[in-house]
Every structure is written in C-alpha cells, then in structure tokens.
Amino acid sequence: MSDKIAHLNADTFKTAIASPAPVLVDFWAPWCGPCKAIAPILAELADELDGKVTITKVNVDDNDAIAAEYGVRAIPTMLLFKGGVLVETLVGMMPKATLKEKLIAKI
C-alpha cells in the first residue's frame, strides 16, 4: 500500500474532500475480493498522480454512516470529489488505464 493513501473516518472525511484538487475516495472492506484487487492499482496511481489527485480510502465496516450518506451500496465504489463536490462515481473493478483516464479528465 502506498504511503500516499490516507485512510479517512468521520473526523477527517469532510476536510479531506474539501480540497480544491481532486480527491478520490475508495470505499472498501477488508473482506472484499475486488477491493483487494484494485488496491495495488490505486497505490500505483497515488504515486503516478501525486500532486494532481489525492487518493484516499474509507473502510465501510468502520464508517458505514459515510457510505450511507453517499449512497454506497456496492464495493469497491470510488467517489471523486473536487472542492467538496461529488463529480464522478465509479463502481467496481476496472483496469488501471481506464481509471487513470477518468481521473486525468477531472484534473
């Protein structure tokens, strides 16, 4: 896991997504197979897009209220925020190139 990926909770979530730069929030759980599969992709993107996009994670088991607030019903779900506003919802596993393309389009 990249040291550039912050783990958010109820105390840190709103501040993190308020950044003027894009913030990707990965809603995941330790028992989720696709979440484990996309984790290395997110770590690589955190390094490659450092300074352009911030990648964060929210464990839905520990932060179910945040997941419910944003209508997260399946994991992995990735929400992309810009200035605190939700600009894109991505659900499920996807290839690195596809995810990177979607992120770059929002920079």
Fold for the domain defined by 6-99: Glutaredoxin (3.40.30)
Task: Answer yes or no: pTM beyond 0.85.
Answer: yes
Q: Is 35 a catalytic residue?
A: yes
Both tokens assigned to 90: 């991505």
Which candidate in 6, 16, 32, 104 is catalytic? 32
User: What does the angle CA 6 – CA 7 – CA 13 come to, to the nearest 5 degrees?
Assistant: 95
pLDDT at 1: 53
Which residue of the set 24, 25, 35, 38 is catalytic? 35
Asked if residue 44 has pLDDT above 80, the reply is yes
- pLDDT at position 94: 93
The strand order across the sheet containing 77-82 reads 6-7, 54-59, 23-28, 77-82, 85-91
Structural tokens at position 45: 């993107």
CB 106 within 8 A of CB 21: no
Q: What is the pLDDT of residues 72-90, one digit of tens each?
A: 999 999 999 999 999 999 9
Residue given tokens 């925020």 in the structure block = 81
- Segment 91-100 mean pLDDT: 95
DSSP-assigned letter for residue 63:
-
Residue 107: pLDDT band with limits 50, 70, 90: confident
